[in-house]
Structure 1
């Protein structure tokens, strides 16, 4: 277990309303080593995004635990979890989440500068990453000037800018056409292979799930299968 980077033990999430208790997740467990890739699959409302949020420490479980690099997220306060995410985690979202007032290069520079890199070095590194995803001609373009596929490539470059140990992606191809989605999938796994990053992906897309070496199927919040 010493090489395990992310461990979830009997994760459950219950939301209490005035009418009833909603059991969103029930006793989900998984173990991922460095460089592993996990596809979390299931129908809408099955708890996939909730599980992703718990694994990333964005939310806390009602019971169970998540260990990231040996640290129990349930025992850390909000600031400590945020610091751990800053050190270890990258995110890619279906809606891209780019800052509209920043250029493509500036969006990628942001996590580098937050990590303490000087502006000149951050600028050079961001340019290299955007070149890596085929956007060397779009450095000065703003998100509104980019297609959906180009915005997602900027988001990928930004996610890998801080060389995260774990990358969480929530439906990263959900807003893209088939051809662009295929290119994003290829980029995701080639960058993953180069950096040795652990991937945790929520997806409805079969071809993306098939590229992962582990699969976790949720149905009504319960773990149906892990291959």
Structure 2
């Protein structure tokens, strides 16, 4: 399995005591799968996604990415796993304001030592329909265009896994549908495993599996729904 968790748990200390954000979760996701994580606000969806991506540390239990146990790595080693194997699309885009669209997409490739960073970034921006917007800064782009830059950036290293947190949450319906189509198209082309958090039931239904969260627990694993 490409992604595995064993008794994965997340607790947070508060003034009222320990808050159990995630109850122990056992999960397996195969290479190439498309998976949606759904549930009410506060159910633990985004926390689970952050733990799977190595952006946060579990209180107990394990996450394995391509047979590498994240709990045994330091932050620098986890960052290398993310750089080598993982792309992440944030709901708020998180583009760097002082960099152009091209430079935003190039940055992770350059940090990874990719000598063809600019060529790959240009090709990806062309695929997402932004070939004419390469030199534009984020504040010169619409929300949909910024999200497409974020998608291109996430795919620039041809990651094995793409994590997306509410990838269409800040977009209007028409733009959101275009971004959805783009995600699945690029997933099919590259064979990248797609794991996304979403409140959109229609978007979730396009995935091969739906994981339902409730109060920090994985309550349902519905397969072969796409």
Alignment TM-score, normalising by the size of structure 2: 0.96
Distance across 2 between alignment mates of 1:18 and 1:45:
18
Answering whether residue 17 of structure 2 is matched by residue 13 of structure 1, we say: no
1:109 aligned to 2:106? yes
Stretches of structure 2 that go unaligned for 5 or more consecutive residues are: none
Q: Which residue of 2 aligns with 1:66?
A: 63
Secondary structure, counterpart of 1:58 in structure 2 = coil
Q: Is 1:34 equivalent to 2:28 in the alignment?
A: no
Counterpart check, 1:186 vs 2:168: no
Residue 18 of structure 1: CA displacement? Answer: 3.2
What does the per-residue CA deviation read over 1:24-82, in whole Å, with 9 as the maximum and x for residues that have no partner?
00012211111111111001111111101111111121221111110111111111111
Structure 2 CA distance for aligned equivalents of residues 86 and 127 of structure 1: 19
In the other structure, the counterpart of 1:137 is 132
2:164 alignment counterpart? 169
Moved over 6 A (4+): none
Cα distance in structure 2, aligned partners of 1:82 and 1:111: 11
Show the counterpart of 2:84: 87
Distance in 1 of aligned mates of 2:112 and 2:159: 12
For 2:105 and 2:75, locate their aligned partners in 1 and report how far apart those are by CA, in whole Å.
Answer: 25
2:132 is paired with a residue whose SS is helix
Compute the displacement of 1:224 (Å).
Answer: 1.0
1:32, 1:149 → 2: CA distance? 29
In the aligned structure 2, how far is the partner of 1:116 from the partner of 1:73?
23
SS of the equivalent of 2:158 reads: coil
Helix, strand or coil: the match of 2:22? strand
CA distance in 1, matches of 2:100, 2:56: 30
* RMSD after superposition: 1.0
Which 5+ residue runs of structure 1 have no aligned equivalent? none
2:47 aligned partner: 50
Normalised to the residue count of structure 1, the TM-score between the two structures is: 0.95
- The total of aligned residue pairs comes to 222
- Distance in 2 (CA, whole Å) between partners of 1:62 and 1:122 is 37
